């Protein structure tokens, strides 16, 4: 929906049921669930959708096997079930991921769980084969009825080194189990929001709109794009601002310490030997300092992460030089014959986990579970969504929506449990059917099969809508990026609500993440966006510089 029309609509009818503050995954999930059930809901975010904590996940849809050691069985069981739903409901964005655990010891770690429970453990001893085996048996048991992914396997040293030849020869065993890979958290969040707008009669979402305050039941919002303030009158406020929850509540008029987040950073690396060693598998293991870390295939690159460091201000989150050194060094733990150079880093990302504030001896002991905190301001209920895992967003959103609808005396009519997400509707994982879809798309719209395959990979079944836009706008292949078309860019600009140029590179596509943008690429995209949004020469110039500044400041990528 056009943002000008949204703003005019809000001005004409400022009375709404629910204001959702925060366009990350939890806010998006609540927005869609409420919209689906006919609630008059407005979602706002001070930046772009999914530009905060939700954009800095490890790109995994997982149950969190290591949380079993903390005794969080309910959380893990819920997350594993939700992982399977994500694979089914969004198959274009979430795919089964074989995960390898290199095991260097046999008996170690047996007392970790009881000592943690008694709060007597600062740093756990390394998990050995027995502990990992028991954990994987529990992990499989949680979703044995769903059968979305295969059960785990355990390999002895010789068999493991045959299957995974780059592995450290000092291993005792290797375990193989399945989780899910989230190819683009940003696209998935945006698609959920767009679905909510489509499915809701009175559902609207506005990025670059900041919550200012609440007075006498009236909420003031500042729209950065139009440079104006807007007054709305909600019955309930849902604070889904993630690491900024406490800041939003302070603006709302009350002071609570709910968030005690930790910073997690990652690298995206282009190293052909490392990419070959990783293959189709994630490598999930314990580093020498006890930190659980990972290596994850990401198209033709590899993601390395993650840190878990205390941080006071979420706006200060950046990947530091020390973290870079740590990530490069950890590769040696599992692949000692592979050397990573800093010049091979194509992208960095860092964010803050919105964990509940608790006193714990180590950051790893802080719960990843979610909870709803209720307060009131100016007579308005405020529900703060604290904690949670990316993978559990749908279940958490459903719990929040049920509570909101009960407060509004509205009965649930529909569930998101088995509801496909945008490009996942009608998606097929059967290769022959996929090939047939791509061939039909190619013939109907006179596009190459190679390009149609790229469209299907990026957007699922929405690739047909993009092909229609290419035909309608007489789109041409881009000069600076292979397998992209000007009509595809226009589709994103007209339907997915990017406001600034960097929104396209960072959140409507993975171009920046894969190290594929140059000054020439930015210039070409800026030209298309300028013509679509009627920018003058000065506005185009400012957007180009803004994009370069943001990619350098937050992601460590300098463009000439």
Q: What does the domain layout of the chain look like in residue ranges?
A: 3-53+186-260+367-408, 80-183, 265-353, 430-555
Give exposure, 504-538, as e/b (b: 16+ Cβ within 10 Å).
Answer: bbbbbbbbbbbbbbeeebbebbbebbbeeeebeee
Please identify which residue in the block is written with the tokens 């010789």.
158
Q: What is the pLDDT of residue 106?
A: 76
Cα angle: 230, vertex 231, 233; to 5 degrees: 145
Tell which phi-psi region holds residue 66, choosing left (phi > 0), alpha (psi between -120 and 50) or beta. alpha
- φ, ψ dihedrals at 298, nearest 5°: -140, 90
Q: Check if the beta carbon of residue 203 is closer than 8 Å to that of residue 197.
A: yes
Sign of CA dihedral 70, 74, 77, 78: negative
DSSP code of residue 351: E
The span from the CA of 424 to the CA of 128, in Å, is 39
User: E strands, 470-549, where?
Assistant: none
Q: What is the CA radius of gyration of the chain?
A: 23
DSSP code of residue 425: T
The span from the CA of 367 to the CA of 268, in Å, is 27
DSSP code of residue 417: T
The span from the CA of 31 to the CA of 13, in Å, is 19
Q: Which CATH class is domain 265-353?
A: alpha beta
Render each residue's pLDDT in the chain as its tens digit; 560 residues: 788 999 999 999 999 999 999 999 999 999 999 999 999 999 999 999 999 999 999 999 987 777 776 677 788 888 889 999 999 999 999 999 999 999 988 766 554 555 444 454 455 556 777 888 888 888 888 766 666 788 889 999 999 999 999 999 999 999 999 999 999 999 999 999 999 999 999 999 999 999 999 999 999 999 999 999 999 999 999 999 999 999 999 999 999 999 988 999 999 999 999 999 999 999 999 888 878 899 999 999 999 999 989 898 999 999 999 999 999 999 999 999 999 999 999 999 999 999 888 765 555 556 668 899 999 999 999 999 998 889 999 999 999 999 999 999 999 999 999 999 999 999 999 999 999 999 999 999 999 999 999 999 999 999 999 999 999 999 999 999 999 999 999 999 999 999 999 999 999 999 999 999 999 999 999 999 999 999 999 999 999 999 999 999 999 999 87
The span from the CA of 512 to the CA of 460, in Å, is 20
Instruction: Choose among 181, 74, 69: nearest CA to 125.
Output: 69
Tell which CATH architecture fits domain 3-53+186-260+367-408.
3-Layer(bba) Sandwich (3.50)
- CATH 2.40.128 corresponds to the domain 430-555: no
Q: Which residues contact 221 (CB under 8 A, 6 or more apart)?
A: 44, 206, 209, 210, 211, 212, 229, 230, 231, 232
Which stretches within 152-231 are classed as H helix? 157-163, 185-199
pTM (2 d.p.): 0.94
Question: Could you report how far apart the first and last alpha carbons of the chain are, in Å?
Answer: 35
The structure tokens listed for 306 are 């993650």
Q: Which residues contact 224 (CB under 8 A, 6 or more apart)?
A: 46, 208, 209, 210
Number of residues in the chain: 560
């Amino acid at each position: 929906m056009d943002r000008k029309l949204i703003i005019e609509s809000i001005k004409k009818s400022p009375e709404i049921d629910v204001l959702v503050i925060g366009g990350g995954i939890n806010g998006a999930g609540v927005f869609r669930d409420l919209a689906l059930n006919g609630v008059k809901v407005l979602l706002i975010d001070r930046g772009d959708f999914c530009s905060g904590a939700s954009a800095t996940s490890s790109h995994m849809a997982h149950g969190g096997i290591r949380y079993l050691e903390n005794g969080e069985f309910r959380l893990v069981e819920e997350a594993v079930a939700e992982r399977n739903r994500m694979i089914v409901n969004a198959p274009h964005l979430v795919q089964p991921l074989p995960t390898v655990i290199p095991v260097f010891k046999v008996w170690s770690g047996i007392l970790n769980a009881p000592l943690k429970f008694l709060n007597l453990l600062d740093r756990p001893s390394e998990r050995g084969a027995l502990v990992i085996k028991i954990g994987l048996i529990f992990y499989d048991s949680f979703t044995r009825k769903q059968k979305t992914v295969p059960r785990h396997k355990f390999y002895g040293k010789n068999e493991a080194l045959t299957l995974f030849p780059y592995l450290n020869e000092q291993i005792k065993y290797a375990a193989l189990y399945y989780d899910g890979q989230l190819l683009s958290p940003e696209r998935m969040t945006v698609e959920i929001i767009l679905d909510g707008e489509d499915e809701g009669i009175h559902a609207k979402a506005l990025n670059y709109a900041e919550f200012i305050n609440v007075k006498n039941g009236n909420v003031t919002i500042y729209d950065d794009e139009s440079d104006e303030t807007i007054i709305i009158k909600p019955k309930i406020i849902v604070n889904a601002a993630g690491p900024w929850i406490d800041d939003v509540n302070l603006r709302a008029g009350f002071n609570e310490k709910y968030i005690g987040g930790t910073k997690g950073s990652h690298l995206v690396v282009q190293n052909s030997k490392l990419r070959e060693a990783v293959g189709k598998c994630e490598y999930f293991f314990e580093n020498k300092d006890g930190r659980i870390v990972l290596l994850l295939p990401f198209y033709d690159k590899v993601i390395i992460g993650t840190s878990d460091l205390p941080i006071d201000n979420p706006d200060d989150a950046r990947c530091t030089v020390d973290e870079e050194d740590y990530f490069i060094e950890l590769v040696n733990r599992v692949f000692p014959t592979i050397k990573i150079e800093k010049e091979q880093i194509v992208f960095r990302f860092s964010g803050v986990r919105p964990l509940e504030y608790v006193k714990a001896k180590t950051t790893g002991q802080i719960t990843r579970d979610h909870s709803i905190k209720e307060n009131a301001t100016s007579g308005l209920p405020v529900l703060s969504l604290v904690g949670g895992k990316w993978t559990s967003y749908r279940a958490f959103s459903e719990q929040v929506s049920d509570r909101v609808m009960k407060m509004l005396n509205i009965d649930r009519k529909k569930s998101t449990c088995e509801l496909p997400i945008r490009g996942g509707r009608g998606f097929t994982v059967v290769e022959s059917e996929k090939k047939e879809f791509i061939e039909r798309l190619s013939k109907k719209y006179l596009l190459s099969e190679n390009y149609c395959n790229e469209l299907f990979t990026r957007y699922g079944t929405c690739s047909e809508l993009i092909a229609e836009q290419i035909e309608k706008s007489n789109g041409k292949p881009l000069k600076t990026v292979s397998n992209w078309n000007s009509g595809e860019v226009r589709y994103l600009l007209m339907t997915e609500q990017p406001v600034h140029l960097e929104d396209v590179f960072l959140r409507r596509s993975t171009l920046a993440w894969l190290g594929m943008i140059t000054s020439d690429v930015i210039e070409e995209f800026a030209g298309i966006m300028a013509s679509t949004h009627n920018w003058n020469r000065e506005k185009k110039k400012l957007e180009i510089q803004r994009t370069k500044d943001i990619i350098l400041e937050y992601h460590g990528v300098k463009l000439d």
